Amino acid sequence: MADDKTNAAEYWKANVRLIFGCLAVWAFVSYGCAILFRPLLAGIPVGGTDLGFWFAQQGSILTFIVLIFFYAWKMNKLDQKFGLGE
Amino acid sequence: MSQFAINLLFVGASFALYIGIAIWARAGSTKDFYVAGGGVHPITNGMATAADWMSAASFISMAGLLASGGYANSTFLMGWTGGYVILAMLLAPYLRKFGKFTVPDFIGDRFYSNTARLVAIVCLIVASVTYVIGQMTGAGVAFSRFLEVSNTWGIWLAALIVFLYAVFGGMKGITYTQVAQYIVLIIAYTIPAVFIAFQLTGNPIPMFGMFSTHTESGIPLLAKLDDVVSALGFRDYTADVDNKLNMVLFTLSLMVGTAGLPHVIIRFFTVPKVADARWSAGWALVFIALLYLTAPAVGSMARLNLATTVYPEMAGQVENYEEAAQNPILYEERPDWVRTWEETGLITFNDLNNDGRIQMYNDAADYSDRGWEGNELTVNNDILVLANPEIANLPGWVIGLIAAGGIAAALSTAAGLLLAISSAISHDLIKTMINPKITEKGEMLAARISMGGAILLATYLGLNPPGFAAQTVALAFGIAGASLFPALMMGIFSTRMNSSGAVAGMLAGLICTLLYIFTYLGWFFVPDTNMLANTPDNWIFGISPLSFGAVGAMINFAVAFAVSRVTAAPPQEIQDLVESVRYPKGAGMAIDH
């Protein structure tokens, strides 16, 4: 039982760590590249405008998709590793 | 065949399809009615979620907002997709593991309190009804144009049709109907965009065409658009935003609202396994992104097409925009699509300087040196997507397809929301709290009556809307994000969060957000009852009412945290429950209890 508990606690910790990592990227591309850092990226041209604009209207959405699939894939591996899957 | 007949044919055929599916999949039990029997594949569920998600706001209104606001309105794109990241990581898998029907179910059980359940029901109803208003506004625009009736009749027609299939179908009907609706709406959205992207840039893929060279002028499309709009006194399309705080908060509001909206969350109760809830969120976002990556292209190209329709000399290589602006088209020679939309009242023309020509420009700019006495052409944002195929001279069947798609988008979301509202009333309020002994039949009847009531209320407010479809919808997100999202998240991530904390937090978030919105938009959205004019000067720290949901959510978290620390910890069995939702193991069949 005690083993189960430590095992579960570690699984949860690993999950929370993974979430933090993914959300850092999530915030970086949307609030960062697309909004706050746009003036810094103004020098990088993308089709008639700059990289910040591209992130706001295309790049962040594409990153979001990759993030969710990455998270789902990583969690499946965690589920198996800790024997907590279904 | 006349355009009217083609529209009727497409809209009629798509309806026959949805109604056919609804009858084929008629809900047998209350469980089926709410959650489709718990056996929906992640890809199917993702597609249905996408249809549920992409409402009139996404389909009809968003490209119009992008067209008018340019970069500044990228918030809608990021907000309505980024929410899925939070949903997939912070809510969906755990709520699936918890395994009940509804959002108030989770909040009521997790916070071991019927007060919490009741507060969640109230939050859910306020957010969902606000959202349905936006759908009704959008459906009204689509119906009025394509069925050539007034806007008011359009809204009543939409209400009747939503009522019919949401009431008789239930969730199972809705899941498969929504798959069909997704397919109709994505095809309808993409085809005109592909044609237009090809016409303007030679690149048929809209998301690439937008960043390609504009064929007629030889410079990048977005640079061309910047030149044209600035010649007419508007801000550059790609111009940066000064008020970054508001932009960040607005995006955040839409994201947490996405994760807090009950009709999206309940979709994740219907997948077979916890892992599937994660994949399902990913698939939903893929299907949503197909439209969202195209929308900015539709918006920018429509804006350019509109300007060059009015000022034909601005279309090609322009040496001097001042000269090109001198010769807008004669009102008598306006294209047919302007004439047809004028009939709906959504385009209006007023020849202020009596020269018989259409001067369309930013009213705030002063062009008296050009002999202009004010902007003469007013185009409602919400018509852009619907008018797009006509503006680009596409064949009649494309217009019919867009009609069917726009109506599908509005109806699918309205139906999903009504289901969330009716289950909150019949299941959470009546069955769980008031009369646990109610029969299945009685519960279904209560569900259907509450759907009817919600439709009537939303229709009334749809006739007197607080804004464009997408803006009204944005308010709903603020409300959901400020009230439900923090309670759900803390319920999963904090074992220490207790019922007093959650109730206080939800109430604080909901009330602060509503007060802020009503201050600027009028009490209960009744026009002319607002206490301050809704202008940036009046906003506190420049935060618009649309963005306030993010602040409301922070207030919710802070209040809940503070209250929970000074009151007793939740009982042991609740702490065990929180532990158990964190691990997928033992989730059991979906919703079999």
Give the tens place of pLDDT for each residue, B154-202. 888 888 887 876 766 555 556 777 888 899 889 999 999 999 999 999 9
Band the pLDDT of B447: cuts 50, 70, 90. Answer: confident
State how far the alpha carbon of B59 is from the alpha carbons of B53, B64, B164, B167, B182, in Å: 10, 10, 22, 24, 11
Instruction: Please tell me the distance from the alpha carbon of residue B353 to that of residue B372, in angstroms, as a whole number.
Output: 6
Q: Does A17 lie at the interface with B, CB-CB under 8 angstroms?
A: no
Q: Does A31 lie at the interface with B, CB-CB under 8 angstroms?
A: yes
Q: How many CB atoms lie within 10 A of CB A24?
A: 10
Mean predicted confidence (pLDDT) in B303-313: 92
**B349 beta partners:** B377
- Of B140 and B128, the structure prediction assigns the larger pLDDT to B128
Residue A6 domain-assigned?
Answer: no
pLDDT tens track for B361-393: 998 888 988 889 999 999 988 888 888 888 888
Tell how many helices (H) and how many strands (E) occur in chain A.
4, 2
Residue A64 domain-assigned?
Answer: yes
Structural contact between residues B243 and B543, judged by C-beta atoms closer than 8 angstroms: no
Residue A54 domain-assigned?
Answer: yes
pLDDT for A80 beyond 50: yes
Q: Does A64 lie at the interface with B, CB-CB under 8 angstroms?
A: yes
Q: How many CB atoms lie within 10 A of CB B350?
A: 9
Instruction: Please tell me the distance from the alpha carbon of residue B7 to that of residue B458, in angstroms, as a whole number.
Output: 26
Instruction: Please tell me the distance from the alpha carbon of residue B174 to that of residue B260, in angstroms, as a whole number.
Output: 21
**B347 beta partners:** B379
Complex ipTM, two decimals?
0.94
CA B27, B28, B30 angle in degrees (round to 5)?
A: 85
DSSP B430: I
Q: Does A51 lie at the interface with B, CB-CB under 8 angstroms?
A: no
Residue A7 domain-assigned?
Answer: no
Place of tokens 């010769």: B327
CB distance A71–B223 less than 8 Å? no
Distance (Å) from the C-alpha of residue B183 to the closest C-alpha of chain A? Answer: 20
Q: Does A37 lie at the interface with B, CB-CB under 8 angstroms?
A: no
pLDDT for A47 beyond 50: yes
Q: Which residue of B has its CA nearest to A75?
A: B275
Instruction: Please tell me the distance from the alpha carbon of residue B175 to that of residue B267, in angstroms, as a whole number.
Output: 9
Q: What is the pTM of this model?
A: 0.90
CB distance B248–A61 less than 8 Å? no
CB distance B274–A34 less than 8 Å? no
pLDDT for B481 beyond 90: yes
Residue A71 domain-assigned?
Answer: yes
Question: Which of A30, A53, A85 is opposite residue B584, by nearest beta carbon?
Answer: A85
Distance (Å) from the C-alpha of residue A72 to the closest C-alpha of chain B? Answer: 5
State how far the alpha carbon of B521 is from the alpha carbons of B122, B155, B245, B535, in Å: 21, 22, 21, 10
Give the range of the structural domain holding residue A26, as residue numbers without chain letter.
14-81
Domains present along chain B, CATH in parentheses? 42-301+392-581 (1.20.1730.10), 307-381 (no CATH)
DSSP A49: E
**What is the helix (H) or strand (E) element at residue B389, kind and residue range?**
helix B384-391
CB distance B579–A53 less than 8 Å? no
Residue A75 domain-assigned?
Answer: yes
All residues of chain A having their beta carbon less than 8 Å from the beta carbon of residue B71 are: 53, 56-57
Residue A5 domain-assigned?
Answer: no
CB distance A72–B282 less than 8 Å? yes
Q: How many CB atoms lie within 10 A of CB B588?
A: 12
Query: In whole numbers, what is the pLDDT of chain B averaged over residues?
Result: 86
Instruction: Please tell me the distance from the alpha carbon of residue B376 to that of residue B363, in angstroms, as a whole number.
Output: 9
Residue A60 domain-assigned?
Answer: yes
CB distance B78–A61 less than 8 Å? yes
Q: How many domains does chain A have?
A: 1
